[in-house]
């Protein structure tokens, strides 16, 4: 077997290329060099105006100009997890990808590619640089026996050897500790359906799914309240242009929401007001009609203060609440549960079979009350009351809306100002604008990344429900996300992920891995993870508390990474399996939007790369799983095999023919009678019954009554009274930048020319206190770890707070890593990664 090192894994070629050389057409990499030279005439000296000219008679015949070879163009999709899903032309000459260019859309606002795609008639080369990047993985690698993880000593092995090595280990682990000892982790490093094959493998083998937790505190809260996550619940794509107010909350839409920013610009041209709520004077704040600088992580209090004003001034939309929200739920005083027909002596009935459990569902309808005191099911009471406390069959009940009014009553604008530092008059102004509408609430994941992100999200998402800012033009959450993903709910995901023979398995979040590996227990159950398979994620580069996670992985016997490149997680693995670049295989995008898009294979998979479906199939077949005997073609045909999708014209044949098919028309308004909320009740819910931990096996308690309604919580670490602030007085969080999506695109020559290294920005007052000048190298540290970066002074930063780009590869930091200083602590209703809830100190080096 051929031994090699990290450096030797790279292709031949230099990454020291300058932009000037690039613009002159010099080779970018060895793989691209043969292409970029095509069509360029040899350099010839050009005569000056005063240079002697030969007589016409002596002129030599002109040399023929070398013609560029024929060019083929394919549809590709940039599907890093910004979620934009920008489609583009992929230009191929002589079997090589030479550039990308924009595809003009039927809506000009959809014709976009961000800086990461860097599309230009002559310079659309960031993607080709990734296709032919030196860090591309070319063939399976195994860590040389006896060397340490991360030492960079590898041996090249064949696919047969790799599959046999992994599955032989698996068979031993299963015999020793059961299939649940094999954990599979997948992130969102590729927005396409192909990587869902790992979910199929997990369910068929009974493996453990290690949840990523990325963004999930907010996403899960949105799913529980609206039936879809906050990322997906908007109206049709261009609906925001009809908004009067756009609330961009803890989200720099100019960078983190580039795929949506064009819509906001158009709305502002039409007269919409942009309100930005953010601690930092971001790009979006600079464009805003009103910037509201808020104390970090107090956003839930601001939303509660706005609710107080809305209720006090009668700004609610009672009809919308009665029709489509939890406002009329009758909540029992004794146990905080919803009054149901069984409480009135009506026996529950059996409903449809739950496909997840195979057992019948239980039908026990809620009780609503009419204005005359009549009670009945929601179908029987067309116009229920939403205010009041009543006795029903001797049971004391109060409407969910009145419970919310009581919860918000303590959040006067003055108290809200004390907590958030937002002036009381501004609180009132925000509430009035929001209620007037039509209002688009654009919440990103800035608040999710705090340990109180779940409660913040609940408060934010309640505001549209009480003001009727949903189900109509210009109103809703997100505004550009919902349609296509809602359409994909009609795909055959059940048949794809839970085929006959599927047994399911355990789940736990990556946050719990350190504790599980330290104690050997999952809650009260003896449990150890023997193997971790990491897919579509640079886990060690993006998950918080890197040192604790690394220590946990040290106790795992086998770590397998499936990726395109040699990144942080690849380097720390025992076996690395190469997958193709996005443009090297056919797949279907899962990026949200109103289209179903096909990503064509512009060129065959390079080297020995195999796509996820092929790899998972090989592993499953080696383990004797008949249902894993599938090809990519089988996989996509199963995914699309529903009457609902066929009715929309979405089949593999139509996608191959048309490349994209509209999944929803442009008048899709979520929460309207025509497109009702897809919760179990058909209503959006600000009152939640029986709130429980997402992962109950850990045994962590949850206050169900507190979490049943919007409420305010402080973060776990970066709160004012934390004694740790004496030692670590600064709060650090990270921001998205224009040139990366997490660590994707972190290594790219042209982008690195523009943004060459990690930086940390701090307010001049904080810098002066530490004798830090602009451009100094500084150490950012706490008890968990440290990272060294270049400091920049920025007066727009809030004093006491610093921020940095999210995120770079370890090799790009001068020392350490950003994720070393973050915490894996989390609250336990919805588990998420909360890297913003971090206290640090900074010192000049």
DSSP secondary structure letters along 718-775: SSTT-GGGGT--EEEEEE--TT-BTTBTSS-HHHHHHS-S-EEEE-HHHHHHTT--TT
CB 64 within 8 A of CB 176: no
23: number of Cβ within 10 Å? 11
Mean pLDDT of 823-831: 86
pLDDT in tens, 426-441: 999 999 999 999 999 9
pLDDT in tens, 625-661: 999 999 999 999 999 999 988 988 999 999 999 998 8
Class of domain 234-480: alpha beta
Q: Burial, 778: exposed, middle or buried (Cβ in 10 Å; 0-12, 13-18, 19+)?
A: buried
Check residues 493 and 244 and name the one with the higher pLDDT.
244
pLDDT band at 443, cuts 50/70/90?
Answer: confident
pLDDT in tens, 11-45: 333 323 333 333 333 333 333 333 333 223 223 33
Check residues 785 and 59 and name the one with the higher pLDDT.
785
Mean pLDDT of 463-488: 76
Look at residue 795 in the predicted model and tell me its pLDDT: 93
Check residues 300 and 262 and name the one with the higher pLDDT.
300
Check residues 345 and 666 and name the one with the higher pLDDT.
345
pTM: 0.89
CB 72 within 8 A of CB 92: yes
pLDDT in tens, 575-615: 999 999 999 999 988 776 777 889 999 999 999 999 999 99
The angle formed by the CA atoms of residues 640, 83 and 15, to the nearest 5 degrees, is: 115
Is pLDDT of 238 > 90?
no
Q: Round the average pLDDT of the chain to a whole number and report it.
A: 87
Q: In percent, how much of the chain has pLDDT > 70?
A: 88
Token pair of 474 as six digits: 């210009």
Mean pLDDT of 472-500: 73
Q: What does the alpha-carbon distance between residue 551 and residue 531 come to, in Å, rounded to a whole number?
A: 14
Q: What does the alpha-carbon distance between residue 794 and residue 735 come to, in Å, rounded to a whole number?
A: 14
CB 184 within 8 A of CB 208: yes
pLDDT in tens, 141-198: 999 999 999 999 999 999 999 999 999 999 999 999 999 999 999 887 777 888 889 9
Look at residue 185 in the predicted model and tell me its pLDDT: 94
Look at residue 19 in the predicted model and tell me its pLDDT: 35
674: number of Cβ within 10 Å? 10
Q: Burial, 376: exposed, middle or buried (Cβ in 10 Å; 0-12, 13-18, 19+)?
A: middle
Check residues 119 and 306 and name the one with the higher pLDDT.
306
Backbone angles phi, psi at 719, to 5 degrees: -105, 160
- In 555-667, which ranges are continuous DSSP H helix? 568-571, 612-622, 632-639, 643-647, 652-658
196: number of Cβ within 10 Å? 19
pLDDT in tens, 493-509: 888 999 999 998 899 99
CB 583 within 8 A of CB 55: no
Mean pLDDT of 665-684: 86
Look at residue 61 in the predicted model and tell me its pLDDT: 61
Mean pLDDT of 409-434: 99
Q: Minimal CA–CA distance to 413: which of 424, 421, 400, 423? A: 424
Q: Minimal CA–CA distance to 808: which of 576, 568, 571? A: 568
Token pair of 533 as six digits: 């398979």
CATH fold of 723-844: Barwin-like endoglucanases (2.40.40)
**CA dist 398 → 192, 329, 379, 392, 730 (Å):** 45, 8, 20, 10, 44
pLDDT in tens, 265-302: 999 999 999 999 999 999 999 999 999 999 999 999 99
CB 459 within 8 A of CB 304: yes
Crossing angle, helix 400-409 and helix 299-312, to 10 degrees? 110
Domain boundaries, the chain: 234-480, 723-844
Q: Count the alpha carbons within 13 Å of 443 in the hemisphere toward its beta carbon.
A: 30
Look at residue 484 in the predicted model and tell me its pLDDT: 41
Token match 């096996």: residue? 697
Look at residue 708 in the predicted model and tell me its pLDDT: 97
pLDDT band at 119, cuts 50/70/90?
Answer: very low
61: number of Cβ within 10 Å? 5
Is pLDDT of 490 > 90?
no
| Number of DSSP helices (H) and strands (E) in the chain, helices first | 29, 36
Backbone angles phi, psi at 255, to 5 degrees: -120, -60
pLDDT in tens, 717-737: 999 999 999 999 999 999 888
Check residues 230 and 408 and name the one with the higher pLDDT.
408
Is the dihedral angle over the CA atoms 722, 725, 726, 728 positive or is it negative?
positive
């Amino acid at each position: 077997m051929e031994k090699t090192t990290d450096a030797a894994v790279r292709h031949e070629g230099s990454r020291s290329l300058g932009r000037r050389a690039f613009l002159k057409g010099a080779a970018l990499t060895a793989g691209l060099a043969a292409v970029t030279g095509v069509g360029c005439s040899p350099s010839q000296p050009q005569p000056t105006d005063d240079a002697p000219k030969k007589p016409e008679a002596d002129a030599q015949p002109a040399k023929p100009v070398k013609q560029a070879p024929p060019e083929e163009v394919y549809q590709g999709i940039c599907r890093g997890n910004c979620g934009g899903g920008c489609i583009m032309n992929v230009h191929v000459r002589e079997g090589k990808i030479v550039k990308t260019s924009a595809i003009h859309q039927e809506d000009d606002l959809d014709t976009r590619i961000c800086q990461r795609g860097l599309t230009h008639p002559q310079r659309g080369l960031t993607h080709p640089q990734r296709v032919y990047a030196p860090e591309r993985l070319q063939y399976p690698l195994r860590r040389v026996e006896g060397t340490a993880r991360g030492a960079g000593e590898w041996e090249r092995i064949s696919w047969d050897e790799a599959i046999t090595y992994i599955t032989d280990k698996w068979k031993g682990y299963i015999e020793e500790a059961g299939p649940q000892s094999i954990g599979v982790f997948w992130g969102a490093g590729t927005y396409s359906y192909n990587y869902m094959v790992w979910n199929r493998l997990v369910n068929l083998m009974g493996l453990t799914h290690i949840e990523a937790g990325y963004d999930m505190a907010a996403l899960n809260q949105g799913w529980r309240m609206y039936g879809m996550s906050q990322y997906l619940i908007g109206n049709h794509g261009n609906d925001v242009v009809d908004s009067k107010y756009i609330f961009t909350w803890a989200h720099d839409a100019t960078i983190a929401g580039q795929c949506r920013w064009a819509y906001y610009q158009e709305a502002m041209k039409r007269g919409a007001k942009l309100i930005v709520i953010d601690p930092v004077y971001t790009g979006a704040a600079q464009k805003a009609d009103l910037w509201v600088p808020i104390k970090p992580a107090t956003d839930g209090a601001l939303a509660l203060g706005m609710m107080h004003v809305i209720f006090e001034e009668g700004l609610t939309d009672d009809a919308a609440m009665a029709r489509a929200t939890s406002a009329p739920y009758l909540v029992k005083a004794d146990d905080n549960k919803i009054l149901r027909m069984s409480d009135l002596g009506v026996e529950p009935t059996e409903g449809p079979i739950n496909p997840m459990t195979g057992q019948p569902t239980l039908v026990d309808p809620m009780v609503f009350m009419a204005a005359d005191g009549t009670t009945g099911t929601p179908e029987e009471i067309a116009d229920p009351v939403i205010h009041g406390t009543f006795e029903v069959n001797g049971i004391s009940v109060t409407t969910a809306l009145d419970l919310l009014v009581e919860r918000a009553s303590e959040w006067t604008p003055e108290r809200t100002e004390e907590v958030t530092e937002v002036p009381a008059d501004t609180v009132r102004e925000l509430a009035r604008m929001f209620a007037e509408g039509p209002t688009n609430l654009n919440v990103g994941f800035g608040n999710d990344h705090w340990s109180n992100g779940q409660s913040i999200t609940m408060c934010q998402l309640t505001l549209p429900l009480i003001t009727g800012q949903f189900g109509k033009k210009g109103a809703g959450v997100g505004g550009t996300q919902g349609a296509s993903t809602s359409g994909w709910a009609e795909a055959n995901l059940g048949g794809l992920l839970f085929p006959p023979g599927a047994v399911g398995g355990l789940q736990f979040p990556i946050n719990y891995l350190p504790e599980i590996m330290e104690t050997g227990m999952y809650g009260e159950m003896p449990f150890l993870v023997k193997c971790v398979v990491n897919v579509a994620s640079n886990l060690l580069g993006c998950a918080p508390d890197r040192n604790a996670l690394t220590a946990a992985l040290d106790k795992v016997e086998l770590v397998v990474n499936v990726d395109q490149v040699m990144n942080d997680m690849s380097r720390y693995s025992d076996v690395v399996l190469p997958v193709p670049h996005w443009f090297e295989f056919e797949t279907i995008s899962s990026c949200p939007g109103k289209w179903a898009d096909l990503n064509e294979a512009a060129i065959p998979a390079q080297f020995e790369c195999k796509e996820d479906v092929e790899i998972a199939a090989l592993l499953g077949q080696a383990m004797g799983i008949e249902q894993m005997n599938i090809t990519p073609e089988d996989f996509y045909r199963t995914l699309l095999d529903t009457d609902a999708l066929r009715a929309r014209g979405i089949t593999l044949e139509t996608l191959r023919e048309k490349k994209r098919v509209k999944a929803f028309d442009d008048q899709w308004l979520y929460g309207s009678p025509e497109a009702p909320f897809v919760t179990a009740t058909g209503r959006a819910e600000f009152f939640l019954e029986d709130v429980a931990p997402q992962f109950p096996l850990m045994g962590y308690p949850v206050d169900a009554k507190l979490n049943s309604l919007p409420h305010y919580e402080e973060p776990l670490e970066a709160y004012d009274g934390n004694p740790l602030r004496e030692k670590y007085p600064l709060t650090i969080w990270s921001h998205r930048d224009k040139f990366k999506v997490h660590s994707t695109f972190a290594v790219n020559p042209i982008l690195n020319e523009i943004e060459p290294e990690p930086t940390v920005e701090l307010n001049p007052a904080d810098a002066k206190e530490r004798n830090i000048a602009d451009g100094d190298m500084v150490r950012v540290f706490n008890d968990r770890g440290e990272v060294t970066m270049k400091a920049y002074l920025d007066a727009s930063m809030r004093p006491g707070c610093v921020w940095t780009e999210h995120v770079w590869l370890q090799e790009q930091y001068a020392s350490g890593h950003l994720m070393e200083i973050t915490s894996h602590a989390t609250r336990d209703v919805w588990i998420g990664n909360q890297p913003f809830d971090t206290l640090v100190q900074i010192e000049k080096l």
